[in-house]
Amino acid sequence: MLPSHYRRCYGCGPDHGAGLRMRLTVGQQASIHAQLEVTDDHQGAPGLAHGGLLACALDEALGTVAWLLGTPAVTARLETEYLTPVPVGSVLHIHARCTGVTGRKISLVAEGRRNGPTGSPAVRATALFLAVDLEHFTTHGRVHDVAQAMADPDFDTIRRAFGINP
């Protein structure tokens, strides 16, 4: 099981009051298994998960695979395909994996299944991530948030955890 890469991340952060709090586990080679419990807070239509939120959950799993490759990376392109509605109360079992790397470009795919990891697929995504350096976050984000994240006493543990499948 991987620790959250950033405590205030909407996808996996334990300190985010309204986040998805996804838990992610390393799979074979560069792949990730994750689970999303679909709750009342995730609705787009009555009783059904919001499509954008499902894309967010897949994005989180895809981004975590990219980090397993040893570099921070950000989503450049994300295409989602919705196959069946996902009702509140279901658990989405997500599997994300890398399909190729060309320079800074990381190609990935993900699939979310209902009713267990071998259930029928409900949502799929194809993504392109771009590897970036720390400057990406200090230039475009808030310097004090970056400094705070790096000052986290668990920062080294978190960084090392992503070296699981070098």
Which tokens is 26 given? 């390393």
CB within 8 A of 61, min separation 6: which ones?
Answer: 22, 24, 32, 34, 94, 95, 96, 110
Q: Of 77 and 159, which has the nearer Cβ to ligand CO8?
A: 77
Binding flags for ligand CO8, 106-145, as an x/- string (CB under 6 A): ----------------------x-x-x-------------
**Cα 85 to the center of its chain, rounded Å:** 20
Decide: is 63 part of the binding site for ligand CO8 (CB under 6 A): yes
Q: Taking the alpha carbons of 33, 9, 127, 66 in that order, is the dihedral positive or negative?
A: negative
Compute the least distance from the CB of residue 30 to ligand CO8, in Å: 13
Which tokens is 28 given? 């074979």
Residue nearest to ligand CO8 (CB): 63
Decide: is 59 part of the binding site for ligand CO8 (CB under 6 A): yes
Q: Of 74 and 143, which has the nearer Cβ to ligand CO8?
A: 74
Q: Of 72 and 85, which has the nearer Cβ to ligand CO8?
A: 72
Beta strand 48-49 with 43-45: parallel, antiparallel or unpaired?
antiparallel
Q: Using DSSP, state whether 108 is helix, strand or coil.
A: strand
Q: Of 85 and 165, which has the nearer Cβ to ligand CO8?
A: 165
> Contact residues for ligand CO8 (CB under 6 A)?
5, 11, 59-60, 63-64, 67, 74-77, 105, 128, 130, 132
